[in-house]
Chain A
Amino acid sequence: MEVTSPQFKQKSRKALADEQLQRAMGKAKSGFIGKRKKAVEALPEFEALRSSARAIKDHTLAHLDLYLEAYERQVVASGGRVHWAETAEDARRAVLDICRSVGARTVTKGKSMITEEIALNDFLEKEGVRPVETDLGEYIIQLRGEHPSHIIGPALHLNKEQVEEDFRRVHTELPQARDLSQPESLLGEARQILRPQYFQADVGITGANFLIAETGTSIIVTNEGNGDLTQTLPRVHVVVASIEKVVPTLEDASQILRVLARSATGQDMSVYTTFSTGPRRPGDPDGPEEYHVVLLDNGRSSMLGTEFHEMLRCIRCGACMNHCPVYHAVGGHAYGWVYPGPMGAVLTPSLVGVERSGHLPNASTFCGRCESVCPMQIPLPRMMRHWREREFERGLNPATQRFGLGLWAFFARRPKLYRLATSLTIPALSGLGGRRGWFRSLPLAGGWTRHRDLPAPEARTFMQQWRDRDTRKQDGGAA
């Protein structure tokens, strides 16, 4: 997927003016926040679970190589294969090779952000393999030629009327007069269209929420059941997952599952939690004949041991973006790559380079709400600040910003000079503000006054007035 993060400002302006988007975001925001809050309040041990979930991931990351090797051994022991992919290109190739080896023409796909990260759909299509998204949200955006705007709600930016329009445009074989006014009717229609695809597909591709080192199992959580059909019905099941998805044991995964759905959608558990271990065994009623895991690194191992290490704890629940005022304002597409919101603002620079995504860690008020709801206690604002530091060190921020900051710092580091400068400018500015007390515009303050007025300084600075008070006190004392 092309990185369009450098156009963040233009895209966010467009998003702010997009009424459909704003309507969709308004609804999504209140839904997610209220449901999470209710779920968390209903579970007294939620905070303790957060800490234990975090500890599990910290431990795993500290021994990542060992757990990945153990995981591979178990996958092989259960009859599957692991394909190590250092880059997105390696992963795409591995998937294509598997498709080619079985002569696949059609693949069904469960929801997977990693396949978005490696831009698998475009690649397969170019190579003559047709990918069919089976998650409702993913299916909708595939019809529209779009990318997910949210990591768990790919079509969050849309309203149901827009989806109805798309379905009528594409599903021309169905009667025009059908009722598509309700979400249920849209879901029903998508199911009806997708059902035969599962049987036509030669390969089913899913992501993974967890990989279990002790058993070689991959786990997905879904709400529609499409993931199960995707991985059970075709002849071949391919799991595409990144390396930090591994945890040591099933017990560990079940601990983290307890915070995952609650943080994401406010459910106690997602509707389906599906465990896959290897291909169909003799006597199994169903299951694929082949089971492959494509394990993607794509820059993650180089985050280990850096300031961004803790980002690898992320379990992709989306709570950070669900609670982010900036994400609410502009939606996911403005961020310009696969991962939006606070987690995207940290992860995107790690994976594509900060020189291509510098806006993302900067476009944050540091309100800290993301960190406060993150089930894995990832210090997202701190890591965004680290990206700003890397940018600053490399001189990547705009010259005007650097100049302004430099000038300010020059004075801020010299208290006497600062005192002198402010005691001259502030009373003048206060006088300029006059009796009205407000500025509607002011040179160099356009960023502020474009949308709001600037209160004029009250009078002289506090420090000037304080000195007078001190002097008066001393005079009074002497008299």
Chain B
Amino acid sequence: MKEDTRKTPRVGLFVTCLVDLFRPTVGFAAVKLMEEAGCTVEVPMAQTCCGQPAYNSGDREDAAAIARQTIEAFEGFDYVVAPSGSCAGMLKKHYPTLLKGTAWESRADAFSGRVHELVSFLVDVLGVTAVPAAHRGSVTYHDSCSGLRELNVQKQPRKLLATVEGLDLKEMANPDVCCGFGGTFCVKYPDISNKIVEEKTASIAAAGAETLLAGDLGCLMNMAGKLHRQGSRIKVRHVAEVLAGMDDTPAIGGGGR
């Protein structure tokens, strides 16, 4: 916390649909990081998905309905935080666009001001400079597109990773190039998506790190899925898991617990 005089920040966790369904560990890691940084974290049950599948498919009506539902579910929190640059970008940058000119315009704008991506929230808002975690081994970090270009998430994760005891960051070539996930793109144009992710896994492999990290589960599942198909032994995790010291759980695709 930058100021001790302020009350404990009350954070609403936007879990994201992929974390909810595929990798709850990321959600718990996010909660742990924020609680350790002095926040109270709550999880509104009325959330589902940020609405990107509809928004990016041209279905504005459903996207707007989901936006209103999400804004309503997170009313009253000091902050709304998502362990994903893509979903946080949707909430922060695209909800106001989507609801512009409607009765919800000012609510969407106010909501937008409270939304943050997890790692940027820790560093830029809470002023966290170090995490008490340890991770033995080397990692490489992929910059997911929305977090990078919509929310300027780039230095923050590297800053915190540098404070993880025992962790060796080996940068890959072009960490800022898309992995080919692109939401529904990867199933609508699987062959093109495959070509893009092949290039990505080649840079990942060339970096020579044992573990791949990123801040978005969609990208991570895409890269992990390709690495696994290629027979790679590189482990894949959300950056929050390592920052929270929760790397004792199986990596993505490591089997149920």
Task: Determine whether A465 belongs to the interface, using a CB cutoff of 8 Å to chain B.
Answer: yes
Q: Does the CB pair A463–B45 fall under 8 Å?
A: yes
What is the CA–CA distance of A408 and B187 in the complex, to the nearest angstrom? 15
- Knowing A369-B178, A413-B65, A447-B190 are in contact, say whether A460-B58 is a contact too (CB < 8 A): no
Asked if B188 and A447 sit within 8 Å, CB to CB, the answer is yes
Asked if A79 is at the interface of the complex by the 8 Å CB criterion, the answer is: no
Shortest A448–chain B CB gap in Å is 6
Let me know if A385 and B24 touch, CB within 8 A.
no
Contacts of A440 in B (CB 8 A): 229
Q: How far is the CB of B43 from chain A (nearest CB, A)?
A: 5
Q: Which of B1-54 contact A (CB under 8 A)?
A: 15, 17, 19-25, 27-28, 43, 45-49, 51, 53-54
CA distance A369 to B45 in the complex (A): 35
A13 at the interface (CB under 8 A from B): yes
Contacts A419-B45, A437-B254, A456-B253 given: A16-B192 contact, CB under 8 Å? Answer: yes
Q: What 1/0 flags go to A351-391 for Cβ under 8 Å of B?
A: 00000000000111111110110000000000001011111
* Other-chain contact of A369, B62, B145, B224 (Cβ < 8 Å): B145
Q: Is A409 a contact partner of B25 (Cβ separation < 8 A)?
A: no
CB of B196 closer than 8 Å to a CB of A? yes
**Interface contact tally, CB-CB below 8 A:** 219
Identify which of A234-242, A289-297, A322-330 touches chain B.
A322-330
Cβ of B63 to closest chain A Cβ, rounded Å: 9
**Is B150 at the interface (CB under 8 A from chain A)?**
yes
A413-B69, A437-B254 are contacts. A422–B178 as well, Cβ < 8 Å? no
B255 near A454: Cβ-Cβ < 8 Å: no
| Contact assessment for A365 and B187 in the assembled complex, using a CB-CB cutoff below 8 Å | no
Q: 1/0 contact trace for B129-166 toward A, CB 8 Å? A: 00000000000000001100110000000000000000
Inter-chain CA distance A214–B257, complex, in Å, is 73
Point out the residue from B23, B62, B196 that lies within 8 Å of A412, measured CB to CB. Answer: B62
A463–B226 alpha-carbon span in the complex (Å): 28
B59 at the interface (CB under 8 A from A): yes
What distance in Å separates the Cβ of B151 from its nearest Cβ neighbour in chain A?
Answer: 11
- Is residue A392 within 8 Å, beta carbon to beta carbon, of the partner chain? yes
Are A405 and B225 interface neighbours, CB within 8 A? no
Asked whether B193 lies within 8 Å of A451 as measured between CB atoms, the reply is: yes
Q: A457 with B22: in contact, given A413-B65, A438-B228, A463-B43 (CB under 8 Å)?
A: yes
Per-position contact with A for B64-83: 1 when CB-CB < 8 Å, else 0? 01100100010000000000
Set of chain A residues within 8 Å of B19, measured between Cβ atoms = 462
Q: Does B91 contact A (CB under 8 A)?
A: no
A458 B43 Cβ-Cβ under 8 A: no
A25 to B24, CA, bound (A): 40
Least CB distance, A340 to chain B, in whole angstroms: 13
Closest B residue by C-beta to A30: B174
**Interfacial chain A residues near B119, Cβ < 8 Å:** none
Q: How far is the CA of A437 from the CA of B249 in the complex (A)?
A: 13
Q: Which residues of B contact A461 (CB under 8 A)?
A: 20-21, 24
Chain B residue nearest in CB terms to A391: B58
Q: Which residues of A contact B60 (CB under 8 A)?
A: 389, 392
Kindly state the separation between the CA atoms of A78 and B31 in the bound complex, as whole angstroms.
72
Interface size for B (C-beta < 8 A) is 70
B256 partner, pick from A363, A433, A453, beta carbons under 8 A: A433
Given contacts A16-B192, A325-B177, A453-B253, is CB(A390)–CB(B58) below 8 Å?
yes
Q: Does A426 contact B (CB under 8 A)?
A: yes
Interface digits, B169-184 against A, CB 8 Å rule (1 contact, 0 not)? 0000000111011110
Contacts A325-B178, A413-B66, A426-B21 given; does A365 touch B190 at CB 8 Å: no
B55 within 8 A of A: yes
Given known pairs A415-B45, A426-B21, A450-B190, the reply for A431 and B58 (CB within 8 Å) is no
Whole-angstrom CA separation of A367 from B176 in the bound complex: 10
Residues from chain B with a CB closer than 8 A to the CB of A388 are: 56-58
Q: Is A52's beta carbon under 8 Å from chain B?
A: no
B196 to A365, Cβ gap below 8 A?
yes
**Contacts A366-B182, A437-B254; is A422 near B192 (CB within 8 Å)?**
no
Pairwise interchain contact B229-A451, C-beta atoms closer than 8 A = yes
* CB neighbors of B among A1-50 (8 A): 9, 12-13, 16
Whether the Cβ atoms of B253 and A437 lie closer than 8 Å is: yes
Give Cα A325–Cα B195 distance, bound, in whole angstroms. Answer: 9
Given A390-B58, A437-B256, the answer on whether A458 and B23 have CB atoms closer than 8 Å is yes
Residue of chain B at shortest CB distance from A422:
B21
B252 contacts the other chain (CB 8 A): yes
Contact status A368-B145, CB under 8 Å:
yes
Closest 8 CB pairs of A and B: A365-B182, A447-B187, A392-B58, A452-B225, A388-B58, A437-B255, A367-B178, A462-B24
15 more CB-based (< 8 A) A-B contacts, given A390-B58, A435-B255: A16-B192, A325-B177, A326-B196, A363-B185, A365-B180, A389-B59, A412-B51, A419-B45, A422-B20, A435-B256, A448-B225, A450-B190, A450-B194, A455-B221, A460-B24
CB-defined A-B contacts under 8 Å, sample of 6:
A9-B191, A405-B57, A422-B21, A436-B255, A450-B191, A451-B194
